[in-house]
Structure 1
Amino acid sequence: MRLRLVPDHTEWDFFKYRTLTFGVSVVAMIASVIIWIVVGLNFGIDFRGGTTIRTQSESAVVVGEYRDAIAPLGLGDVSISEVYDPSFAENHHVAMIRIQAQGDQESVSGETVDQVLAALKGVDPTIRFTQVESVGPKVSGELIQTAILAVCAALAAILFYIWLRFEWQFSVGAVAALFHDVIVTIGIFSLLQIRFDLATIAALLTIIGYSINDTVVIFDRLRENLRKYKTMPLIGVMNLSVNETLSRTLMTSGTTLLALIALLVLGGDVIRGFVFAITWGVIVGTYSSVYVAKNIVLWLGVKRDWTKPSNTGGNQFANIDA
């Protein structure tokens, strides 16, 4: 017997409360923007400026002990991560310590660096600093601009691709869903004051890719069913398409979440923000694929005079669990 997350044939009405679900999405986006403006983001060192210190020691790096030793210095946002390299000798252990800019200073002062070194020597007497680099506010501002451009470029490329492959209504729906995912994710980061850094930008780009993948799968089945059921109302064809791909959607999202939750619980502080963003994005992206993208397509409507033959290539396994 095969394990099935949903029955072989479902007839759930996903658009019964389409006005309510779409309204919730709009409210969530507006609330996220307001929180973003009022509360602001908890920018990490990448966007706020600071100093990066590369350490080397003969003993293994214990991130928790390093963090406990530096905490009494009151330096604010401190990020510590171990560096792995196959070329390192057995007694060659390296860590990267990033400390946010202190006050109006572009970098951490030499006195503060000496205090950090003294604190870490209490944990490991063999530790030494091999490299100290600073990132000023100007560079941080450029990173913010580059991050915004990266997200906007990804959205524009997806808009163009969906427009070419499907119809413009599909393209508008897909990009609206992606905007929803990105804005709501930024809103939750602002609300919970989770550190927002370059890793979070990478997570946002990952969310965009994951969300559009799920949306395109349903769109592809919708296009196929529009050719097959030419007299069925659009809302009926949409419900049919979502039901037919439901098993695939739940299996993909479920297995992805299993891995992400394990990383969220056991991965440690270094990657927690990145993993949380992707975890939240998978949940919101799955929701928006149906209740944002499809609602907009339903509202805009699509032409029904399909003259091309039905092409099911690549879709025959969309409703199979495994």
Structure 2
Amino acid sequence: MTTTTPDVPTVPGPKPPVAHRRSFLNRLTTGTGAFDIIGHRRKYYIVSLVLVVLSIALIIIRGFNFGIDFAGGTRIQFPASSSISTDQVAQAVAGSTGVEPEAVQTVGTGASATFQVQTTTLSADQVVSLKQAVASAFNLTTEQISDSAVSETWGGEISQRAVIALVVFLIAVSAFLWIRYERRVAIGAVIAVVHDMIITAGIYALVGFEVTPATVIGLLAILGFSLYDTVVVYDKVQENTKGLTSLLRRNFEEAANLAVNQTLMRSVNTTVIALLPVGGLLVAGVAILGSGTLKDLALVQLVGMIVSGYSSVFLAVPIAVDLRLRDPLIKAHTARVAARRKAEGIIVDADGDAIGRVPGTGTPDDQDAPVRRVPGADGPTAPPKPGVKAQRTGSRPVGAAPRPVSGARPAAGGSRPVGKAARPTGKRAR
């Protein structure tokens, strides 16, 4: 008598992983989009190098428009009128003193608007002559015209202290990062900070805004913002790479790329939200209040925040990764991960997550994994249909009943199923 095993319906397998078919915004907001940022780091190096070279060229060719606090000189202020232009003011100053003014600006709006004239250091007689000429030309009294002078020595001391503050800042930051992480990570962060400082200075030279003490304060503020964002990403990289060398799922580069993806949206949100009030400050300083301290402070912060938001993700972390990859321990781990993937035919994305398998590779138990075509590989060339788990030839469907034991008779009604443990002896069956 021949007994046939009843057919068991095939249970559809899980849908094979599809590599990043979600929208760009979805991938960005979830932090699992596997944007290959670290893998394209050489492109970002080139972009940053070009920006730095252009910024240095602008600083050398155009120079900075140092304010009176740095360069020294004499400043004259008097009420402004809509009927008076800055060219008329410049002509009156030059005609009375014989010195061309370095800058003539309108500060404020409406009834509170004033003209601000900056020249080289004038003698007491030149100041008196200037006041009389301006009062006569624009129907003012000499009491309405104020003057102030800053010596070049004072300006030099301010410049020296600003440079010292920047140096102390960089040393303190380097020491903190060296203690908190390691020297390779500290080098990447410091390079990013210097990168931000040079590009911000180049933009300042291009625009021609006046460099004042407020500019230095704003520069120190944005350097702190740059480090804040960089340290957040570094912490995530450290978290992802903790105990990495004892595992073979990801190498160091992929773990760092995953960390960047996980913090990318946070960096974007932080930068955009911080730019909104600073942008409003710049508009108020230029369009409403005219030139002045507010405008100088807002410009350096606006440019610095944009550049630092870029460098913390696309420069600081990639540099740290490149330096860490020179570590012999990391090199050996990367080689072990690559060897395992080659042996098992695993295909991964930029974050090290498996997205397919080279046909004809892996152990028999791995052959049921989704197959993705790899150019030059033997075997099936078509990817699995969506929703269907790829099967190797001769394999049993996922969820199918196990094959019966060879040579065993099918279980009769009421008899014990094949493979079931015998009832314990010595006890009466109930």
TM range (shorter): 0.7 to 0.9
In structure 2, the residue matched to 1:289 is 312
Q: Does 1:7 align with 2:22?
A: no
| Higher percent of residues as helix | 1
1:187 aligned partner, one-letter code: G
Change (3 A) 1:19 1:198: same
Q: Give percent identity, aligned residues only.
A: 30
> Does structure 1 retain, via aligned residues, the 8 Å contact 2:74–2:150?
yes
The alignment partner of 1:227 has SS state of coil
Q: Deviations over 1:113-134 (max 9, x none)?
A: 3445566764xx79645x6431
5+ residue gaps, structure 1, are 56-60, 83-92, 306-322
Name the CA distance, whole Å, in 1 between partners of 2:127 and 2:142: 23
The equivalent of 1:219 in structure 2 is 234
Matched, 1:49 2:72: yes
Cα deviation 1:10-60 (Å, max 9, x = unaligned) = 3211123211111221222122222212221121222221235688xxxxx
RMSD, aligned α-carbons:
3.2
1:149 lines up with 2:164 in the alignment: yes
The SS at the match of 1:13 is: coil
Higher RCO (CA < 8 A, seq sep 6+) = 1
Number of aligned positions between the proteins: 282
Greater C-alpha radius of gyration: 2
Compared CA separation, residues 289 and 120, structure 1 to 2 (3 A): farther
Q: Letter of the aligned partner of 1:185 in structure 2? A: T
Cα displacement (A) at 1:139: 1.5
The TM-score, its normalising length taken from structure 2, stands at 0.58
Once residues 238 and 196 of structure 2 are traced to their aligned partners in structure 1, the CA distance between those partners, rounded to angstroms, is 24
| Mapping of residues 197-208 of structure 1, within 5 Å | 197-208=212-223
Report the equivalent of 2:413.
Answer: none
What is the distance in 1 between the residues matched to 2:27 and 2:254? 23
> Does the CA contact (< 8 Å) of 1:51 and 1:134 recur in 2?
yes
Query: What's 1:25 paired with?
Result: 48
Identify if the C-alpha distance between structure 1 residues 160 and 68 changes in structure 2 by more than 3 Å, giving closer, same or farther.
farther
1:77 equivalent to 2:103? Answer yes
Shift of 1:159: 0.9
Amino acid at match of 1:233: N
Does the aligned pair in 2 maintain the 1:69–1:119 contact within 8 Å?
Answer: no
Aligned partner of 2:421 in structure 1 is none
Q: Match for residue 282 of structure 2?
A: 264
Q: Which runs of 5+ in 2 are unaligned?
A: 1-24, 91-100, 331-430
Q: How far is the alpha carbon of 1:206 from its aligned partner?
A: 0.9
Kept in 2: contact 1:47–1:140 (CA 8 A): yes
**Residue equivalent to 1:169:** 184
Flag the 1:66–1:128 CA change in 2: closer, same or farther, 3 A.
farther
Question: Is the CA contact (8 Å cut-off) linking 1:106 and 1:135 kept in structure 2?
Answer: no
- Greater Cα offset, 143-152 or 179-188: 143-152
